[in-house]
Amino acid sequence: MKKMLLFAIITVMCSFQAKKTTKIVFFGDSITEYGVRPDGYITLFQQKLKDNGKAGDYEAAGAGIGGNKIYDLYLRYEDDVLTKTPDVVVIWVGVNDVWHKRLAGTGTDYDKFGRFYTALIKKFQAKGIKVTICTPAAVGEKTDYTNELDGDLNKYSQAIRDLAAQNNCGLIDLRKIFHEYGLKNNPENKDKGILTGDGVHLNAEGNKLVADIMYQSLIK
């Protein structure tokens, strides 16, 4: 009888061990920094896990810092991501790499964007971490390609799509998703107020959409 109990306890313990939690870290700029706010996309993603009874299987954390470009992520990936021992890293960066060219003369050269991004992916993959990468969603929400930075954002987004293919990463093509959402939901061709509050940072609708897409893409 005692043996049976012991066996049962061991079985349950083993099953707990087997049911390992998958840790996901969202790594990015201000959009991700705001993602952990009560209405942010990471918070909504966590809520979704709870609602679907997956809160024991997955854990999500944010590692976003405002103003970050790809090389800033490279500088801090050890301190801010590896220390969290993630199983999955979602990288979402690119807006500042393009925007800061105009804003401060300190954007990221196109060739170096690819070089740092590749190096960052390889550092994570060398640790056995799964990497999913995202295209920059928007700087301005007009749908007719008259947002000032559309050309450069499209160029850098294409680079990210190529990087995903070359490095066997997951890809979440937020630029494409936001553009298609705008074609349906932005008939007046507004430059903000659809999925963002200011053309860049997510509003309630944007946080909801991004949380849904991240969930579909990352959670089995």
Residues engaged in binding a copy of itself (CB under 8 A): 71-72, 74-75, 100-102, 104-109, 112, 115-116, 119, 140, 144-155, 158
Contact status, residue 167 vs residue 115, Cβ threshold 8 Å: no
We find the least distance from the C-beta atom of residue 212 to a copy of itself, in angstroms, to be 26
Q: Please enumerate in sequence order all residues whose Cβ is within 8 A of that of 11, keeping only pairs 6 or more positions apart, or say none.
A: none
Closer residue to a copy of itself in complex, CB, 113/181: 113
Closer residue to a copy of itself in complex, CB, 51/188: 188
d(CA 201, CA 207): 9
Query: What letters, b where the CB count within 10 A reaches 16 and e where it falls short, cover 79-100?
Result: ebbbeeebebbbbbbbbbbbbe
Closer residue to a copy of itself in complex, CB, 41/124: 124
Closer residue to a copy of itself in complex, CB, 139/214: 139
Kind plus residue range of the DSSP H or E element containing 130: strand 130-134
Chain CA centroid to CA 15, Å:
31
We find the least distance from the C-beta atom of residue 99 to a copy of itself, in angstroms, to be 10
We find the least distance from the C-beta atom of residue 113 to a copy of itself, in angstroms, to be 10
d(CA 109, CA 192): 27
Closer residue to a copy of itself in complex, CB, 65/219: 65
We find the least distance from the C-beta atom of residue 155 to a copy of itself, in angstroms, to be 5
We find the least distance from the C-beta atom of residue 57 to a copy of itself, in angstroms, to be 36
Contact status, residue 150 vs residue 109, Cβ threshold 8 Å: no
